[in-house]
């Protein structure tokens, strides 16, 4: 039986990521980290790349992390996580530290993952370290003030892809990071969104339990950068999923599985029109985006149909 | 006749840098966002398309300077801007640009390091990195503005020097100068002298890419101009092909140095303030020179014979200028926002002629005029 992707139920009171951090109001990424931390549990070491979550979780002189946490550089979360994992393994093997099955989890934003950190990530996935890499994707460099990244969607206006007379904003399509992770033939890849909290926690827990490298790509709305009301982050996340812009799926040992059974996609315009970063888009561009979203979604459906697993209903 | 009123504009340092780059003819920018240099990139994202140039956001700083070097070889005046962590990533490319003699301009808006350090706070900690960051012996030109207008002016000069000597030029700016806003009057277009890289005048079949024409700076065609051209970071002979011959390796590195060192006389850029009869001279650069200027004025009001030398060019170090100061002063004071980087150089040049006193601050805040004034009072005798 397929489990519901969201719904009532008791969530653990465990809070490895505590409140009091300094994320902007309405930040869905902080929620994503909180939920992920609940699923990761206390027996873990977090390796955090430079980015929003590093900055807001460690304002002088506090930290939001109740578990060991390393802030490294911008480009190397996966590389440092590799070292922590290999180092722990070696220490355990030599009997210098007891075997406690400590989990190593790397956190990085979309820039730290798909731009500057891609080389380190690819290396770590290829070497097969037993760790989890979580990409917290808010679709631009929000920490330095909303500059485009390669995860910024087509048409979005940012400070380095400004929309105007000569440009419609970002002119390239969002880099497909989960597909890049899948191409490394790793045991577990998943996409998640804090608007579907049960699904997110389930996937992170599964990633943690998976031996070998696992990659979880979490889309989280950023009201500051997406130019939307601060109380709309959850709603926008839902729409990203329901319009097929950001489908929820898992890839276990190469087998694709869609987690939500969307019989009919909502029009992508519903998602775009809620956000100021897309306000300049013409109907023609929206149509173009719709075509791309439908096409990409159908590709996923085709991949998932091969595995034959049923998705849960909304 | 109608009187032409020059328009004063309120500019941020980083904005002035972009204005300078545009005036110098920069039409290619590749970069990666980083505080406190991001404004340069954001403004370039708008200005480059407007002026027929190219703006590319790259995936990291390594790629940024790589693209800048490529564009420069293709014939464009190119630049990038970054801060400490990104500057560290760029080092290998800086060495390449020096070795392959590719003109390019790199702005480093310094923030307190090492590592991520204090991303939004102030430092002058990259002075030695700008000099020696990339491996191997190499010449480098490093400029340090201390006001918004100077940031504009030195950006233009950075391009000029870079084109003239076919060398990477670094603009070392502190966060205060980059983010402060001042009223400036920008000179009219075409009123500044803009230099272009020497271009070969011989037909392509006669062209020898790295032969010294006497100036030390070989003419440089753009890719696609019809000249066959082999570019490498390996030691190369005059035709650009890799070599390990001792009679080719050493002349190359010497030429790279002497093409700049032969012009040391032209590269003494400083402002002197009340130095004629000064018993104690302050040597400062960047925002610290501003505080020092005020401190020197206040000290003069008190009757102390003190002066200030404001360095606009840090590397190559202005040995001639500083030697003169050291010969005529009893003491020099070097206030800096690091643990002592230019002061080491001053001491080296000093050769024990006079007493070199340092005033260092590394807590992310500026050195105040009062602190310099107090120090001047302490050491004045």
pLDDT of B138-176, one tens digit each?
Answer: 999 999 999 999 999 999 999 999 999 999 999 999 999
**B12 and B152 fall within a common domain:** yes
Q: What is the DSSP letter of A112?
A: I
In this structure, what CATH number is given to the domain that contains residue B127?
3.40.50.970
Q: What pLDDT does A56 receive?
A: 93
Q: Are B314 and B127 in contact (CB under 8 A)?
A: yes
For position B2, what pLDDT does the model report?
60
Neighboring chain B residues of A116 at a CB cutoff of 8 Å? 32, 59-61
Write out the two tokens for A265. 């996609």
Cα separation, B144 vs B161, in Å, equals 14
Tell me: do B66 and B178 sit in the same domain: yes
Task: Note down the domain range covering B356.
Answer: 271-379
Same domain, B55 and B182: yes
Is B14 within the bounds of a domain? yes
Rounded to a whole number of angstroms, the distance from the CA of B380 to the nearest CA of chain A is 40
Looking at the fold, whether B180 and B296 belong to one and the same domain comes out as no
Mean pLDDT for B10-32 is 97
Site from A55, A112, A114, A116 to mutate, B interface, most B CB atoms within 10 angstroms = A116
Q: Which of B158, B191, B224 is the last residue of a domain?
A: B191
Instruction: Please check whether residue A73 touches B, CB under 8 A.
Output: yes
pLDDT at B5 over 70: no
- Report the distance separating Cα B162 and Cα B195, nearest Å: 9
Domain boundary among B191, B222, B253: B191
Residue percentage of chain B with pLDDT more than 70: 99
Among A73, A147, A160, select the one facing B116 at the smallest CB separation. Answer: A73
Contacts of A31 (CB under 8 A, 6+ apart): A194, A197, A220, A233
> Are B113 and B297 contacting, i.e. CB atoms less than 8 angstroms apart?
no
Q: What is the CATH number of the domain that holds B282?
A: 3.40.50.920
In a domain, B47, yes or no: yes
In-domain check, residue B15: yes
Residue B143: which residues within 8 A CB-CB, separation 6 or more?
Answer: B154, B157, B158, B161, B169, B170, B171, B172, B269, B312, B313, B314
By C-alpha distance, which of A219, A310, A300 is closest to A261?
A: A310
* pLDDT per residue of chain A (314 residues) written in tens, 0 to 9: 345 566 677 889 999 999 889 999 999 999 999 999 999 999 999 999 999 999 999 888 889 999 999 998 999 999 999 999 999 999 999 999 999 999 999 999 999 999 999 999 999 999 999 999 999 999 999 999 999 999 999 999 999 999 988 789 999 999 999 999 999 999 999 999 999 999 999 999 999 999 999 999 999 999 999 999 999 999 999 999 999 999 999 999 999 999 988 889 999 999 999 999 999 999 999 999 999 999 999 999 999 988 766 677 66
B282 and B152 in a common domain: no
**Both B174 and B303 in a single domain?**
no
Last residue within a domain, chosen from B138, B156, B191: B191
> How many beta-carbon pairs below 8 A join chains A and B?
50
- For residues B227-241, give the mean pLDDT: 93
From chain B, pick out residues whose CB is under 8 angstroms from the CB of A70.
Answer: none
Residue B344 placed within a domain: yes
- B-side interface with A, Cβ within 8 Å? 32-35, 38, 41-42, 45-46, 49-50, 55, 57, 59-61, 85, 89, 115-116
Task: Sort out which chain A residues have CB atoms less than 8 A from B85's CB and list them.
Answer: 50, 73-74
| Same-domain check for residues B29 and B142 | yes
Q: Cα torsion for A96, A98, A101, A105, to the nearest 10°? A: -50
Using the beta-carbon criterion (under 8 Å), do B60 and A116 form an inter-chain contact?
yes
Specify whether B278 is located in the same domain as B172.
Answer: no
Using left for φ > 0, alpha for ψ between -120 and 50, and beta otherwise, residue A275 falls in beta
For residue range B349-381, list pLDDT tens digits in order.
Answer: 998 889 999 999 999 999 999 999 999 999 997
How confident is the model at residue B337, as a pLDDT?
97
The rounded distance, in Å, linking the Cα atoms of A307 and A301 is 10
Q: Which residues contact B193 (CB under 8 A, 6 or more apart)?
A: B160
Q: B184 with B42, same domain?
A: yes
Question: Any chain B CB within 8 A of the CB of A141?
Answer: yes
Q: Judge: A160–B49 Cβ closer than 8 Å, yes or no.
A: no
pTM tops 0.80: yes
Q: Answer whether A161 touches B (CB < 8 Å).
A: yes
Q: Is residue B316 part of a domain?
A: yes
Q: What is the phi/psi pair of residue B29, to 5°?
A: -135, 125
B355 lies in some domain: yes
Q: pLDDT at residue B100 above 60? A: yes
Full 3-state SS string of B89-155: HHHHHHHHHHHHCCCEEEEEEEEECCCCCEEEEECCCCHHHHHHCCCCCCCCEEECCCCHHHHHHHH
Instruction: Give the C-alpha separation, B205 to B224, whole Å.
Output: 14
Chain B residues in contact with A73 by the CB 8 A cut-off are 85, 115-116
* 3-state percent helix, strand, coil for chain B, nearest multiple of 5: 40, 20, 40
Beta carbons of B41 and A160 less than 8 Å apart: yes
Q: Give me the residue from A50, A75, A160 closest to B42, CB to CB.
A: A160
- Is B324 in the same domain as B175? no
Helix A233-242 to helix A28-40 angle (10° resolution) is: 80
Is B120 among the domain residues? yes
pLDDT tens, position by position, B307-334: 999 999 999 999 999 999 899 999 999 9
Which residues contact residue A308 at a Cβ distance below 8 angstroms, ignoring those fewer than 6 apart? none
Q: Do A159 and B59 touch (CB under 8 A)?
A: no
Q: What is the pLDDT of residue B4?
A: 62
Structural domain count, chain B: 2
Q: Is residue B311 part of a domain?
A: yes
Give the span between the Cα atoms of A238 and A249, in whole angstroms.
Answer: 14
Chain B residues touching residue A118 (CB < 8 angstroms): 59
| CA nearest to A75 within chain B | B60
Residue B47 shares a structural domain with residue B182: yes
User: Which candidate from B45, B60, B89 shows the least CB-CB separation from A160?
Assistant: B45
* pLDDT score, position B94: 98
Distance CA B301, CA B211 (A): 57
């Amino acid at each position: 039986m397929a489990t519901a992707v969201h719904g009532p139920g008791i969530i653990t009171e465990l809070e490895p990521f505590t409140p009091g951090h300094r994320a902007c109001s309405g930040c869905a990424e902080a929620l994503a980290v909180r939920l992920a931390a609940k699923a990761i549990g206390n027996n873990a070491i977090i390796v955090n790349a430079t980015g929003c979550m590093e900055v807001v979780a460690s304002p002088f002189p506090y930290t939001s992390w109740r578990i060991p946490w390393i802030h490294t550089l911008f480009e190397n979360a996966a590389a440092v996580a590799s070292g922590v994992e290999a180092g722990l393994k070696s220490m355990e093997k030599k009997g210098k530290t007891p075997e406690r099955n400590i989990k190593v989890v790397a956190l990085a934003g979309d820039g730290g993952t798909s731009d500057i950190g891609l080389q380190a990530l690819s290396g770590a996935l290829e070497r097969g370290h037993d760790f989890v890499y979580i990409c917290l994707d808010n679709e631009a460099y929000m920490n330095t003030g909303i500059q485009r990244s390669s995860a910024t969607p087509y048409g979005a206006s940012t400070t380095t892809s400004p929309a105007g007379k000569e440009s419609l904003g970002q002119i390239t399509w969002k880099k497909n990071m989960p597909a890049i992770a899948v191409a490394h033939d790793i045991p577990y890849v998943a996409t998640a969104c804090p608007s579907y909290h049960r699904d997110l926690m389930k996937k992170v827990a599964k990633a943690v339990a998976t031996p070998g490298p696992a990659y979880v790509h979490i889309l989280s709305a950023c009201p500051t950068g997406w130019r939307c009301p601060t109380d709309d982050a959850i709603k926008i996340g839902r729409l990203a999923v329901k319009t097929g812009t950001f489908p929820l799926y898992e890839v276990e040992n190469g087998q694709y599985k869609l987690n939500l059974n969307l019989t009919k996609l909502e029009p992508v315009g519903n998602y775009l029109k809620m956000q100021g970063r897309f306000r300049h888009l013409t109907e023609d561009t929206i149509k173009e985006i719709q075509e791309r979203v439908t096409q990409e979604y159908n590709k996923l459906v085709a991949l998932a149909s091969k595995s034959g697993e049923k998705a849960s209903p909304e | 006749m109608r009187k032409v009123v020059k328009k004063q504009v309120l500019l941020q340092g980083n904005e002035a840098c972009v204005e300078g780059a545009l005036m110098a003819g920069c039409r290619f920018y590749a970069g990666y966002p980083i505080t406190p240099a991001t404004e340069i990139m954001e403004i370039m994202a708008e200005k480059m398309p407007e002026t027929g140039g190219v703006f590319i956001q790259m995936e990291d700083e390594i790629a940024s300077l790589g693209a800048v070097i490529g564009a420069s070889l293709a014939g464009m005046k190119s630049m990038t801007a970054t801060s400490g962590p990104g500057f560290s990533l760029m080092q290998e490319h800086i060495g390449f640009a020096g070795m392959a003699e590719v003109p390019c301009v790199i702005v480093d808006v310094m923030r307190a390091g090492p590592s991520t350090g204090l991303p939004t706070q102030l430092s002058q900690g990259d002075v030695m990195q700008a000099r020696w960051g990339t491996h191997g012996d190499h010449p480098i030109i490093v400029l340090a503005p201390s006001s918004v207008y100077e940031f504009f002016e030195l950006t233009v000069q950075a391009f000029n020097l870079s084109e003239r000597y076919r060398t990477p030029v670094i603009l070392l700016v502190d966060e205060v100068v980059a983010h402060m806003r001042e009223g400036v009057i920008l000179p009219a277009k075409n009123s500044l002298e803009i230099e272009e890289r020497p271009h070969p005048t011989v037909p392509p079949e006669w062209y020898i890419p790295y032969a010294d024409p006497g100036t030390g700076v070989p003419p440089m065609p753009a890719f696609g101009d019809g000249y066959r051209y082999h570019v490498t970071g390996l030691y190369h002979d005059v035709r650009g092909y890799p070599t390990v011959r001792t009679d080719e390796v050493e002349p190359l590195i010497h030429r790279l140095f002497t093409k700049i060192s032969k012009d040391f006389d032209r590269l003494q850029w400083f402002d002197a303030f009340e130095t004629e009869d000064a018993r104690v001279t302050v040597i400062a650069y960047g925002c610290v020179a501003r505080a020092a200027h005020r401190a020197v004025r206040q000290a003069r009001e008190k009757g102390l014979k003190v002066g200030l030398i404001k360095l606009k060019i840090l590397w190559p170090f202005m040995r001639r200028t500083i030697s003169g100061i050291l010969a005529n002063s009893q003491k020099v004071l070097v206030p800096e926002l690091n643990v002592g980087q230019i002061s080491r150089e001053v001491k080296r040049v000093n050769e024990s002629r006079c007493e070199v006193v340092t005033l260092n601050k590394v807590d992310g805040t500026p050195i105040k005029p009062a602190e310099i004034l107090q120090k001047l009072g302490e050491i004045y005798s």
